[in-house]
Structure formats: C-alpha cells, structure tokens
Structure 1
Amino acid sequence: MQRRTILLAGASAFLLAGCGFELRRAPEFPFKTIHLAGAERSPLLVELRRSIASTGAVEVVDGRVPGQAQVTLDVLTEQREKVVVGLGTTGQVREFQLRVRFKFRLRNAEGTEIIAPVELLQQRDISYSESAALAKEAEELLLYRNMQSDIVQQTMRRLAAVKGI
C-alpha cells in the first residue's frame, strides 16, 4: 500500500512537471526605475507602488524628481462607480454593480509611449438590503479592495511584458 502511494505521488509530480505547470513568481521588469505620475494618495496607486517596490528589482522614484526614472507610468483615469442594476417591486434598490476603472500609459525617459493608453475595468455585482446596510457597506469596501488588487496584478503583468526600453 505504501509503495503504491509513493509511486502515485511520483507519477503525479512527473505529470505536473511535463504539463508546463509552474508556480507564479514575482515579475521581472525590463527597467530598473519607474516614476508613478498620478494622484499620490490614491489607494490603487499606493498598492501599485508597494507591489512594484516589493519585487526588489525596481526602484520607485519620488515624484519630485521624475527625470531620474527610466519609465513613467501616467495614470490617466482612476474611478470607482456604483450603478443601480436592480429594483424591487416597491422601487427600492435590490442590486448594485460596483466598477473600478483604471486607465494608464507607460512612457520612457524621452517621452515616447511604450504602452499606449490602456483601460482596465473590474466589476462586481452586490445585492442590497436596507436591513443589513452596515454589513453591505463593509462588503462593498471588501469588493472594491479585491477589484483594486486584481487591477494592480494586471498592471504588473503588463509592465513585465514590456520589451525593448
């Protein structure tokens, strides 16, 4: 029985290695310094700054000296939206759709666009009940934070895919 378990575990590891499965690792960027131009206190930009700095390979240059950076990420639009998508029979709101829009572009030190303006959109539906308003507010904040993290990860992957700086 024990021998069979060991063989099964070995075969599983062999099959996973053969299929191209690989654990996700920190992205490798083709630049060493970046300047983030946008709303300095934006929660999304703060998380993006932390994620880039946590790789250890890229330095986020202070906004007061943007000329020192190899590339500049310009935040063109960042907005949160809350749209009513469902009403009850009495006209009360039953469902909302939460959206986070993030539009950016990437330029090199000379000002040439490396990544043309890109808009990333995340949306989530949330039901609403007036009797549980505080709980729904907390859920809404959690969903916004989750969408923000997804957008930061998408942005990181797009930055890592840049070629020829």
Structure 2
Amino acid sequence: MNRRLFLAAFPAVLAAGCGFKLRRFEDIPFASLYIDAPHGGAVAQRIRSALTSSKQTRLAASAGEAEAVLVLGPEARSKVILSLSGAGRVTEYRLGLQLTYRISDKDGRTLAAAEVIELSRDITYDDTQVLAKAAEEQLLYRDMEDSAARRIMRRLQSIGPGPAS
C-alpha cells in the first residue's frame, strides 16, 4: 500500500519541485486603468475579468481617474474560403480576428503606440456536421479573443508608468 501511495504522490512532488505554475497574469505596473472599448467587445471583457481577478490594478470609471488608458478599436471577424473540393464544395475556411489598440496615460501621452493584432485559424468544413462545425468555429473565435487579450496584457506588463508629474 505504501508503494502505491508513493507512486501516486511522486508526480505531484516532481511538478511542485520544478516551479510549475498555472498561467496567470502578473501584475501590471499601473495602480489604475481605464478601458475605452466599443460596447460588447469580447477582448475588452476578457481583459476586465483578468484585471478584476488579479486585484492589483483598479479599473477606473473614467479616463481622468486612471493612471493609464487602454483604447481598443472594434473587433473585426472574418471568414474566408480557403479550399474547395473537386465538386465545388467548401472544405476549409480561414477564420480571422483583427483588433487595434493603444495605451496612453491620463494626459494623453502615448505609452504604447497603436498596434494591430491580426490572428487567424484554419478550420475544415463538412456539410454533414454543420452544428459541430459551427460550435468549433465559435471555439476558435473565442481562442483568438483569449490570445489577443493575453497579448495586450503582456504589452501592459512590459511598459512602466510615465514620468511622475
């Protein structure tokens, strides 16, 4: 019995000893942040929830109250035919997500110049599995939104607050 317990606990000890941690957002260097984004933006919502869960950075109600301002442009989704079968049926699509953002301080000085995020994912298509493929498409869009949010959070982490006034 002791041998089984040892074999079960050994992988957990190895994982803990190597410094393994679940991925999370480190603290960003701003005490408060205002997010200026179009209503209903999924990337903005993911950033808000990440900052709310970290509790290190306060989400400000207005740009004047914030140490930094994150301005997100509208999210543009695209779906382009990538390949056709010999019978002329779609067999593959390329899904895309495009988003621009910039970061400034409360006085309007640029902390990070405007940047465009363009992400794409390829998806196979089959007429006999319409519902499954629609669910897969939504999952891929969600994955691209998560990826864009992580990229913006890493950018926020990499810049420091502007000079003290």
- TM-score, normalised to structure 2, is 0.82
Distance 1:84 1:156 in 2: 32
Q: Does 2:125 correspond to 1:121?
A: no
- Checking the alignment, whether the CA contact within 8 Å between 2:52 and 2:59 is kept in structure 1 is yes
* 1:71 counterpart residue number: 68
Please name the residue that 1:103 is paired with: 100
Would the aligned equivalents of 2:30 and 2:160 in 1 still touch at CA under 8 Å? Answer: no
- Tell me which moved more, 35-44 or 110-119: 35-44
C-alpha change, 1:164 and 1:42, in structure 2 (3 Å) is closer
**In the alignment, which of 141, 146, 151 is matched to residue 149 of structure 1?**
146
Shift of 1:118: 1.1
127-136 or 23-32: bigger deviation? 23-32
Is the Cα–Cα contact under 8 Å of residues 77 and 104 in structure 1 kept in the other structure?
no
Once the two structures are TM-superposed, the CA of residue 35 in structure 1 deviates from its matched residue by: 0.8
Could you tell me which runs of 5 or more consecutive residues in structure 1 were left unpaired when the two chains were aligned: none
Where 1:136 maps in the other structure, the secondary structure is helix
Unaligned 5+ runs, structure 2: none
**Superposed counterparts of 1:3-14, under 5 Å:** none
For the aligned residue pairs, the C-alpha RMSD in angstroms reads: 2.4
Partner AA of 1:123 in structure 2: S
- Alpha-carbon distance in 2 for matches of 1:115, 1:122: 20
CA deviations over 1:30-80 (Å, ceiling 9, x no partner):
111111111121122111111122111111122xx3211111111134211
Letter in 1 for 2:138: L
Report the counterpart of residue 28 of structure 1 in structure 2: 27
Partner-residue secondary structure (3-state), 1:34: strand
Q: Secondary structure at the match of 1:117?
A: strand
Amino acid at match of 1:50: S
Q: Is the 8 A contact 1:73 1:107 kept in 2?
A: yes
Q: Which residue of 2 aligns with 1:61?
A: 60
Tell me how far apart the structure 2 counterparts of residues 130 and 161 of structure 1 sit (CA, whole Å): 45
**Which residue of 144, 149, 163 maps to 2:160?**
163
Report what 1:42 is aligned to: 41
Q: Which runs of 4+ in 1 moved over 2 A?
A: 21-26
The amino acid of 2:40's aligned partner reads R
Q: Percent identity?
A: 27
3-state secondary structure, aligned to 1:137 = helix
SS of alignment partner, residue 111 of structure 2 = strand
